[in-house]
Structure 1
Amino acid sequence: MRNLTTITEQYTMQMTLPLGDLEERVISKRTLAPTFKAYDNKQMNMILDVEALIPVHHVARVIDEMIEAVPDELLFAHYTGGGRSAYHPKMMLKMILYGYSQKVYSCRGTEKLLQENIPAMWLAGMQRSALKNHS
């Protein structure tokens, strides 16, 4: 767009700059292929230590230390023995307290925690169906 009345040899009103060869050398990012980090959710992964996935100051660690401090004899005194083997009372207490800390109050909610929540899996020792049969 030029206004012919304002063009002189020393003064020009142009909308574009005469870049010439510079425009040809610039590679448009739109012509490059996209690059992504490797991703394969079907790849088998082995997690050797679930505890390493839990932050140091997580509430699950506090609950674990608190329940482990309770002597076994205090808990075992309430079990008569015989019958089908029961889940460890410390594991059950840990799951109940962790569930309450996550505002989960039902057995079904606790079971869902055991299936989806890594700290809950760690507290239960990877026993996912720990509370399923106790509702």
Structure 2
Amino acid sequence: MAKLHYRSYNPNQIILFPQRIDEDIAGNDPVRIISAIIDQLDLSKFHKLYHGIGRCAYHPRMMLKVIVYAYMNNIYSCRKIEKLLHRDIHFIWLSGCEKPDFITINRFRNRVKEEISDIFTQIVLLLSAKGFVSLDVEYVDGTKIESKAT
């Protein structure tokens, strides 16, 4: 019988992730597309929402990337987003290893309510310019379902 050999296993190692997390994220992954698109947005309206006093705030571009990517994946709970910022490699990469808590995420979301519609408009226009979506076609669902009323 052959002697068994296993790869070394040490869950207490100092580095659990590679030095560069982005090496494990595919070049065409949607998280990269979201990051690149938000990097091109004009966030000048966000600056008026911050004051120069107190503790340094998380960068609004990072917070926006995290929230848009979460929404894209049907995740709306601030607590779930916070958990993903600790566990999911895509969220870790997108946030630059920052870990805002659920209260901070919720406060940011509430703070940018008025500006967010402008952001989504910018995103749609950028996606259209890059050919990901078309603004020429509208779809209307004309499904008719009969009901039986008694």
Report the TM-score, using the length of structure 2 for normalisation: 0.60
Task: Tell me the matched-pair count.
Answer: 104
Question: Identity rate of aligned residues, in percent?
Answer: 32
Higher relative contact order (CA 8 A, sep 6+): 2
Tell me, in whole angstroms, the C-alpha distance in 1 between the residues paired with 2:95 and 2:7. 34
Tell me, in whole angstroms, the C-alpha distance in 1 between the residues paired with 2:44 and 2:72. 26
Tell me, in whole angstroms, the C-alpha distance in 1 between the residues paired with 2:52 and 2:43. 15
User: What is the CA distance between 1:64 and its match in structure 2?
Assistant: 0.5
- In structure 2, the gaps of 5 or more residues are 107-150
Deviation track 1:21-52 (CA, whole Å, cap 9, x = no partner) reads: xxxxxxxxxx2222223332223236321222
- Alpha-carbon RMSD: 2.0
Question: Where in structure 2 are the equivalents of 1:18-97 lying within 5 Å?
Answer: 31-45=1-15, 47-97=18-68
After TM superposition, the runs of 4+ consecutive aligned structure 1 residues lying more than 6 A away are none
Q: Secondary structure at the match of 1:77?
A: helix
1:114 paired to 2:114: no
Q: Secondary structure at the match of 1:61?
A: helix
Aligned residue among 68, 72, 75 for 1:101: 72
Hey, what does 2:116 align to over in structure 1? none
Tell me, in whole angstroms, the C-alpha distance in 1 between the residues paired with 2:101 and 2:62. 10
Give the number of the structure whose residues are more often helix, by fraction: 2
- In structure 1, the gaps of 5 or more residues are 1-30
